[in-house]
Amino acid sequence: MRSPRPFLALTAIGCLSLLAGCGGGGFAGDGQERPSGGGQATVRMLVNITPNLTQAYWDGLVKPFEQANPGIDVKIEAPTGKGVADTLPQQLAAGNAPDVVETLTADETLAKQVLDLTGQPWAKDTPLAEQAKLGGKIYTVGVGVQAQSLVFYNKKAFEKAGIDQPPATLDDFDAVMGKLKAAGWLPLQTGGEFLTGLQLLQLSNPSRAQTLPTWQQDIKAGKVKAGESLLPYLERYRTWIDKGYVDKNALGMKYADAETAFLSGKSAMYVMGSWFTASEAKSKKDFEVGVFPAPVDKGQQYPGPQGATMAAPYMILKSTPQKDAALKLVRWLVTDPAAVKSQLKQDGNFRAGVEREFTPLEKQVQQILDGAPSGVPQGEGYGDATLPKGFNAAWNTEVQGLYVGKSPKEVAEGVDRWLAGRS
Amino acid sequence: MTLTRVAPLVTTTVARQKPRRRDGWVTAIMVGPATVLYTVMLIVPVGLALYLSLTDWDGFSADPAFVGAANYLDLLDDPDLRRAAFVTLLVAAAGTAGLNLLGLGFALLVNGVSRANTFFRIVLFYPHVLSALVVGFLWSAILGTTGAVNNLVTSWGGEVLPFLSDPTWATITMIAVLVWAGFGVNVVLYLAGLQAVPHSLIEAARIDGATRRQVFRNVTLPALGPSVTVNIVLSLVTLLKTYDLVVSLTAGGPAGQTQTVAYLILWNSFHDARLGFGSAQSVLLMLVTGALAFVVTRLRRRGELAVHQ
């Protein structure tokens, strides 16, 4: 009696050959030409989808471009993972990378996969292009600037607590929180998820940048320890938890809940980036929101350097079979006046020399940006000032440790240990 | 009647004796689709994970370097993995106990033919139909610091309950939500087991004067042995892979205290761009899950044999 094993083996070999044959997989750079039917070039653009930047918004944004360029079809793609940062590696691994990617900025890892835009005459005039250079090359171009180190405040709460002047130093900031607490307000709104660590980075940018202007580069060079250099801010934050200036149960709140809590008047101050102005404009409330630049250490220049990140950054993947069409699209997205204005307005961002309809709060943010002596990278940073991927998240986890019993020193050591493990 | 019954048997016997080659091809064709699926869904991904675990691939570069066992050695020295492994084992152990106790308990309650029982079975199974992401967001809206429960508590003058802001509370909350979302499946599996218990055995025990508790302990429970094994192994394997509920309920917080191994794998792989290291963690998780499932199955089988003897 013959065993059917040879047949089974044959079937298995057939299956494996089939798999090898139809392999869509492989590492990025395998770059196969994607045919575009009927002479039509399809540019696939992976974008971030948020409450402000919906799929419908993106589709509407690129419509005028498609009308002006009948041979180009733009396909907006939403992340299939948690976000663009998770989706892009998956698509690269599957050999299915998009042509254009929005949201991420180039670092040493990504730069190998994206197009060098240094030779494009329009690229150097885009916001923060110079600061985001990596090894002297431009890989990422953006639409505008996001101001990071802003403190939004409830004017009614300040009035009731008898505060007539926003604080300029961190000591004044502590005193203001004391007054607000005494007047029955929760002084500072924070929350869980990524918010805890982000706010402390935003708040510390202007003073940290005055003592350590090349912080990220110094950390990379081993001259400075990240946690150790931020220890004074961690110690200060710890006192805020102990004194009840922040809610000790804040970690049980999501980012959106924290924003809602501030906008519904439950807290007096909220440290956030300029994109918050878009949410503020849409909310209904019975108080006015004001904004001031994050305070600095005693004796430092105020306002200090403003934490600044690129708004709506774009990159073109090297593997794109539609290089010309992708270049045309990205150029249009970052230079066309109507497209730029639309994107700035939609996500509450700013760009020098671009006039658009401002809300009163946006006007104040623009003034803060105009008055800032410089813009500095924040946390993980960008361009040559980039820390290892995941720094912001590791920092956030450690800062949250302050709420669950870790000492500031332990938190600082945790951050430095994480960085040492990634060096 | 007798002739028609015998005839096909004879034909089958003759057919078996003749073309064995054809038999082999038929088997191959029948097994083919399953082999393709098995290869695509299991062998290829596992093989790829094994290969990637020996490289320093960041998810972006085209030329990952071979690093040998470096990623596996790093695992030994990773405090995040140690913490996540503890949380995962705790979730798996407590969750498996919760899922099975509730599953069996409710199965006994709704084990009868009536309209009410049908309704309750649907209600009990319903949470399992929801995506784990939806379940997480739903419960965070209920139990968060500004959630429905805390709003009620504070409006009555009470203190905020730290369901999601205290590490211990958050871990217990996560386990409770996992059990809530999953025990419907266990109810269904136990119901199937209960309905397979021979009624004659129960009748005989009752005639012999056994109380309801004695019938359950000495007749129903031993007869449910295979169901218990399946339920425990399925619960354990599912809970060891807990990921999406962590994302939507706690986001791994507070302070990373509710991160599970699966969450950490995804985080390291895609967020920190360390796919090689993440793959090594995946291989480890796969081995641990397989080993635990094997041990539990062996222990249960030994127990079942002891009962039958």
* Residue pLDDT, tens place only, A64-91: 999 999 999 999 999 987 789 888 888 8
3-state secondary structure A364-387: HHHHHHHHCCCEECCCCEECCEEC
* pLDDT value for A311: 92
Question: For B17-70, how does the pLDDT look when each residue is reduced to its tens digit (9 = 90+)?
Answer: 556 777 888 888 999 999 999 999 989 999 999 999 999 998 887 788 999 999
B 203-242: CB under 8 A from A: none
Provide the percentage of residues in chain A whose pLDDT is more than 70: 91
Q: Do B195 and B87 fall into the same domain?
A: yes
- Joined together, the tokens standing for residue A27 give 């590492």
Residues on chain A touching B64 (C-beta within 8 angstroms): 27
Same-domain pairing of B210 and B251: yes
By Cβ distance, the residue of A16, A81, A260 closest to B39 is A16
Is B61 inside a domain boundary?
A: no
Say yes or no for a CB contact (<8 Å) between B167 and A29: no
Give the per-residue pLDDT at B236: 94
For residue A305, list its beta bridge partners: none
How many domains does chain B divide into?
Answer: 2
What is the domain partition of chain A in residue ranges? 37-142+313-346, 147-309+369-422
Continuous segment of H or E residues that includes residue B117: helix B115-129
CATH number at residue B260: 1.10.3720.10
CB contact under 8 A, B144 and A253: yes
Q: Do B61 and A82 touch (CB under 8 A)?
A: no
Does A293 contact B at CB distance below 8 Å? no
The answer to whether position B235 is within a domain reads: yes
Q: Which domain holds residue B44?
A: 1-52
One domain, residues B270 and B226: yes
Q: Decide if B255 and A193 are in contact by the 8 Å CB cutoff.
A: no
Same domain (yes/no): B179, B291 = yes
For residue B263, pLDDT over 90 is answered with: yes
pLDDT in tens, A260-310: 999 999 999 999 999 999 899 989 999 999 999 999 999 999 999 999 999
What was the pLDDT predicted at B77?
87
Minimal-distance CA residue of chain A relative to B45 = A25
Residue of A8, A10, A15, A387 to mutate, testing the B interface (most B Cβ within 10 Å of its Cβ): A15
- Whether B184 and B294 share a structural domain: yes
What is the mean predicted confidence (pLDDT) over A111-116? 92
User: Taking Cα atoms as reference points, which of A316, A314, A325, A321 lies closest to residue A69?
Assistant: A325
The two beta strands, A100-102 and A41-46, are parallel
d(CA A292, CA A305): 13
Q: What's the pLDDT tens digit per position in A365-423?
A: 999 998 999 999 999 999 888 899 889 999 999 999 999 999 999 999 999 999 998 87
The predicted model gives A306-319 an average pLDDT of 94
Give the integer Cα–Cα distance in Å for A173 and A188.
10
Residue B267, chain A, CB below 8 Å: the answer is yes
Specify the CATH superfamily of domain A37-142+313-346. Answer: Periplasmic binding protein-like II (3.40.190.10)
Q: Count CB neighbours of A190 within 10 A.
A: 28
- Tell me, which fold does domain A147-309+369-422 have in CATH? D-Maltodextrin-Binding Protein; domain 2 (3.40.190)
Interface contact B159, partner A, CB < 8 A: no
The answer to whether A389 contacts B271, with C-beta atoms less than 8 Å apart, is yes
- Do B26 and B167 lie in a common domain? no
Q: Kindly state whether residues B41 and B96 are assigned to the same domain.
A: no
- For residues B183 and B91, membership in a common domain is answered with yes
Contact between chains at B145 and A401 (C-beta distance less than 8 A): no
First to last CA, chain A: 63
Identity of residue B232 = I
Q: pLDDT (tens digit, 9 = 90+) per residue, A358-373?
A: 899 999 999 999 899 9
- Residue B274 falls inside a structural domain: yes
Cβ within 8 Å of B, A 103-162:
109-110, 112-113
Pick the closest to residue A238 from A408, A61, A25, A92 (CA basis): A408
In a domain, B62, yes or no: no
